[in-house]
Structure 1
C-alpha cells in the first residue's frame, strides 16, 4: 500500500510535535526544557500534563494527538519501559510512522541505545515484570518490544554524546525545524527565481511613494482609473 504524500500528512496534522516521555524520569527537567524551547520557536507541541491521572488504558485523546502530529519525539529514559502507557504510545507512534509516514525522532536520554534495541539492562527488567503481570497479553508485549527495536534503529540523539542538556535541546529543536522545513517569509522571497522584476512592475504601477501618485490622488482621479491600476498590479 502506497504511503500518503508528505503534503497530505501535513494537511491533516493538528500538531507539529508529539512528545512521548516517562514523567517520573524527565517531566520536570529535560522534557520541560525541550517543550519550552519548541514553544519559543512557535512549534505547536502536544505534551501530556495528565500522565499521572491515566486509567488502565491509554487515553483516546493521546492516540488521536499522535495521529494528528507531524513528528513524534520519543524520550527514551531509564524507566520508560516501566510504563505500559509509554509503551502503548510508542507502539502507536511506530504504527503511524509505518502507515502514514510520520517522522520520528528518538532521544536516548541517559540510556544505552543497545539496551533499548535488545531490551537489556533496565529495559529487560521492565519486561520481566510486564510478562509476569500481563501473561495474557503476549502479543501486545511483543508489539512493545518490536516498537522499541524499531525506534532504536532510527536516526536520533544520544545524551551521552551531546552534553549538556541545553546543547541536546538546541540540537533537537534544530532537527525538528529542519524536518518541518520552517523558513522565514524573507527566505521565501529570496529563493523565488525572477521575483525582482515582478516586484518592480508592481511598484511602478502603484507608483508607491512617488510625487505623481500623490498629486494624482489630490486631483481626485476617478475611482475607475485607480481601480484599473490596482487590477494591473494584481495580474502581474
Structure 2
C-alpha cells in the first residue's frame, strides 16, 4: 500500500483507445483535468519519440495516484489498451490503486460479458492466437484470459456510465 507520504508524478493516468476518443471526449476530459490543476498522464503528451512505449506506459501507471479508464467501442480490439488495463488492475490488487472506469460508448455489461463490440474484438484476438503455433499460441491464449478477467473485474467497479448520454438519450 502506498503511504500518505508517497509523491506521485501524476494525479491521473488516462487509459483510452485513441482512435475512438482522442479527438473528442478524451481531449475534452484531458483539457478539463489540466485546467483544474490535475496532473494527467496521457500517452501522446508524456511519451517522447524514441522512448519504449510499453515501459513508459507502465511507469505512468506506477507514478499516478489514480487511473481513469475510458471504455469505448474499439477499446477491446487494442492489445495495448487491454495490456494497460491488466497492469492497472494488478497495481490495484497489490497497492490499492484507485481505478475509475468510464463507460463512454459501451455499457458495463458489454465490458463485463464481452458482448457487442468486445465480442467482435475477442473473435479477432482468437483468430490471431489460432494463427500462432506452439508456445506463442499458448502465450497468446493466456494473455487473452488475463484480458477477459480484467474486463470482468473492472466492469464491477463503481464508475460512470455515459453510453446513454453520448447518444443524447439520458435516462
| Shorter-chain TM-score range | 0.7 to 0.9
Give CA-to-partner distance per residue, 1:23-76, whole Å, 9 cap, x none.
0100000000000000011100000117xxx9xx95201111101111000000
Of the three residues 156, 159, 169, the one matched with 1:153 is 156
Of the three residues 121, 131, 154, the one matched with 1:126 is 121
Of the three residues 62, 86, 93, the one matched with 2:88 is 93
Q: TM-score with structure 1 length normalisation? A: 0.62
Residue in structure 2 matched with residue 41 of structure 1 by the alignment: 36
Residue in structure 2 matched with residue 139 of structure 1 by the alignment: 142
Q: Are the aligned partners of 2:72 and 2:106 in contact in 1 as well (CA < 8 Å)?
A: yes
Of the three residues 73, 78, 92, the one matched with 1:78 is 73
Q: TM-score with structure 2 length normalisation? A: 0.84
Going from structure 1 to structure 2, the CA distance change for 1:132 and 1:118 (only over 3 Å counts) comes to: same
Corresponding residue SS for 1:42: coil
Higher Rg of the two aligned structures: 1
Q: Are the aligned partners of 2:111 and 2:118 in contact in 1 as well (CA < 8 Å)?
A: yes
In structure 1, how many angstroms separate the alpha carbons of the residues matched to 2:66 and 2:3? 12
The offset of 1:164, in angstroms, is 8.4
Greater relative CO, 1 or 2 (CA 8 Å, sep 6+): 2
Q: Is it true that 1:7 corresponds to 2:4 in the alignment?
A: yes
The offset of 1:140, in angstroms, is 0.8
Going from structure 1 to structure 2, the CA distance change for 1:23 and 1:49 (only over 3 Å counts) comes to: same
Corresponding residue SS for 2:120: helix
In structure 1, how many angstroms separate the alpha carbons of the residues matched to 2:16 and 2:163? 18
Question: What are the ranges of 5 or more consecutive residues in structure 2 without an aligned counterpart?
Answer: 131-136
The offset of 1:134, in angstroms, is 2.4
The size of the alignment, in residue pairs, is 157
Q: Is it true that 1:59 corresponds to 2:62 in the alignment?
A: no
Give CA-to-partner distance per residue, 1:178-211, whole Å, 9 cap, x none.
xxxxxxxxxxxxxxxxxxxxxxxxxxxxxxxxxx
The offset of 1:5, in angstroms, is 4.6
Residue in structure 2 matched with residue 69 of structure 1 by the alignment: 64
In structure 1, how many angstroms separate the alpha carbons of the residues matched to 2:126 and 2:166? 35
Q: Are the aligned partners of 1:20 and 1:89 in contact in 2 as well (CA < 8 Å)?
A: yes
